[in-house]
Amino acid sequence: PTQSSTLVSRTPTPVNTKLTTKLTNSPHYPILQETLNNVFKLQSFRKNQLEAVIACMDGRDVFVLMPTGGGKSLCYQLPAVCSSMLKNQVTIVVTPLLALMADQVTQLRSRFNINAHAWSDSSINFGHLSSGSIPIIYVTPEKLKESGYARSTLRMLAAKSLIGRFVIDEAHCISTWGQDFRDAYASLGELRDLYPDVPIIALTATANQTTVNDIITQLKLHNDVVRLTQSFNRPNLSYTVIEKKSGFKNEIVDALGNRFRNQSGVIYCRARQTCESFAQFLRDKGIRAGHYHAGMEPDDRKQASDDWMEGRVKVIVATIAFGMGIDKADDFGHKDFTATQDMINKDEKTDLESKQRQIAAAKEIYAYARNRSTCRRKQVLHHFEEPFQEEECQKTCDVCKDPLELINEDATDIARAVLKILSHATRQNAHLAQGTIVAALRGSANRDVLQKGADKLEGYSLAKGVDADLIELTIKELMYIEVLQMHSVQNKFSGYHNEYITLGPTAGLFLKELDNKPFVLGWRPKTRKGQKGRKGTTRADANTPSAGPSSATMKSATSKRKGKGKATE
Ligand code: ADP
Ligand code: MG
Ligand code: ZN
């Protein structure tokens, strides 16, 4: 019976004309539309914005889930300006970061001539806020929690009905289920008790169903809260994961010169230092590149981002400090995962529980990168617990585009051989890299194999004639499930890091289980010359997000068999 149910649109639906009519019939519609045009200089509302601003003006609690860049700010800034004009009310916006706050205030002032303020100092008092001249004031949750002065000011304003609404931006920070829970956000639950008549608007770009419900409970939003959520599918994006091999830097240079010629882009890196050195590398290759990370001075950061925005540089090499959202790494390698895990574990400021959460998140991204059987969109949307039909991808991701056939391969014997050679290597104190293991198992006597004495190890030549890609895939998969471990040692002379592989903590158990459960993994053998791969009927377990090489599941398969396409997907 509540209006909220009619406003929910989880999956993209054709424009509901009935709904549009109803919204434009709202008594608030004219002033909202006029302010949109005249103050914000925008032509029309984006998806869910009109729904949000009308609900705000109606004095309802509102929950907005919208992808980054979707236009969440307007959902509260527009009502703020209108409520100020109509009722002299101020809108109180809680944001987690001071830097974010300053940016928003500057923008509102310079671009739209809106008298916004940041409540970071004591120069703001009841007099200013009650005069109706300040439509929006930004405040950190810490300030609300700790400043008695701020709280008593708010109480006085509330008593005179001069608070339009509380806005909780980045609302996922209140939930311990989310990735970036913040202590001070937890106390925002008191707002409802302290100011029961003031509506609350919560906005976020990152929340699955559990987190959404948690946010709504924590903030004590009313039962008839207007929930506005929308699909996270971005039809205008296409996704491709490319494995990082040696020489990948030059591959990127090539791609920038050919496939991405006349385009601009962002390359995300994990470490600040890498951003700088990689940008330099690209410049040396004649590509206009800049870098961006949180360790830079604010002015330099702004300059870097302006240079990119205005086309003076083509590529910006950045950490996730640049923009936010579901920017999955656009290249990847196993080393990255190991290094990320290290980085998380070494961080002394983080408690164990958050470490585990962060590692789980890193694993999820890694699994995403390695999964070559499930549509990328489907995987991304699965993260947001949003169902997605692969057909809708229209071959705009590398998985759906792949012309090679995906087959389920019984790799039990290969796995056994890998474990055999590695356990002997351990006893001999030989450090084998992935390439050496593959070569030795295939019976090669190349220099590397001979140098390491791998030709003398048990297991040598056990996988003669087996595709090197398949052995490599098996090793990677075993690393992923921690049957194997990667170690990295720095060469004292060259400074280079050498990687070698050893048995991991679960190797013994795994070996025992192999007797009952074959080790099956999905892969795409390269077709022989002239032979075109078929596609469509052989997508292995496409509806299991965990299928494919990403997580070779041990199944009771007998021998090599083709995956059955699930026509219902
Ligand atoms: P979010 O907070 O959801 O990540 P923002 O509120 O920062 O996104 O908005 C992202 C961009 O979209 C901004 O540049 C903003 O000016 C623009 N934008 C928002 N609403 C509209 C609209 N109705 N029409 C055109 N541009 C819009
Ligand atoms: Mg925002
Ligand atoms: Zn796809």
Q: Which tens digit of pLDDT belongs to each residue from 79-88?
A: 999 999 999 9
Query: DSSP character for 397?
Result: B
Q: pLDDT value at position 547?
A: 36
Question: Which residues, judged by CB distance below 6 Å to any ligand atom, belong to the binding site of ligand 1?
Answer: 42, 45-46, 49, 66, 68-74
Q: Evaluate whether ipTM surpasses 0.95.
A: yes
Written as six digits, the tokens of 71 are 């236009």
Residue 201 pLDDT exceeds 90: yes
Residues 6+ apart with CB under 8 A from 463: 413, 414, 417, 441, 442, 471
Written as six digits, the tokens of 88 are 């002299």
Distance 92 CA to ligand 3 centre (A): 42
By C-alpha distance, which of 413, 426, 422, 416 is closest to 440?
422
Residue 223 pLDDT exceeds 90: yes
Smallest CA separation from ligand 1 atom 20, residue: 71
Lowest-confidence pick of 136-145, 233-242, 439-448, 541-550 = 541-550
From the alpha carbon of 324, which atom of ligand 1 is closest?
A: 4
Of residues 2 and 212, more confidently modeled: 212
Smallest CA separation from ligand 1 atom 13, residue: 71
Distance 8 CA to ligand 3 centre (A): 26
Question: Across all residues in the chain, what is the average pLDDT?
Answer: 82
Task: Tell me the percentage of the chain whose pLDDT exceeds 70.
Answer: 82
pLDDT category of residue 497 using cuts at 50, 70 and 90: low
Residue 538 pLDDT exceeds 60: no
For 157-169, how does the pLDDT look when each residue is reduced to its tens digit (9 = 90+)? 999 999 999 999 9
Mean pLDDT of 110-115: 95
Rounded to the nearest 10°, the torsion over CA 476, 481, 485, 490 is 60
Unique residue bearing structure tokens 């921690």 = 482
By C-alpha distance, which of 235, 237, 176, 178 is closest to 204?
178
Best of 41, 45, 66, 73 for a ligand 1 pocket test (most atoms within 8 Å of beta carbon): 73
Distance 82 CA to ligand 1 centre (A): 18
Most confident among 63-77, 362-376, 381-395 (mean pLDDT): 63-77
Length of the chain measured in residues: 569
Ion ligand 3 — residues with CB < 5 Å: 375, 393, 397, 400
Query: DSSP character for 138?
Result: E
Q: Centre a 10 Å sphere on the Cβ of residue 126 and count the other Cβ atoms it contains.
A: 16
Written as six digits, the tokens of 314 are 């083509």
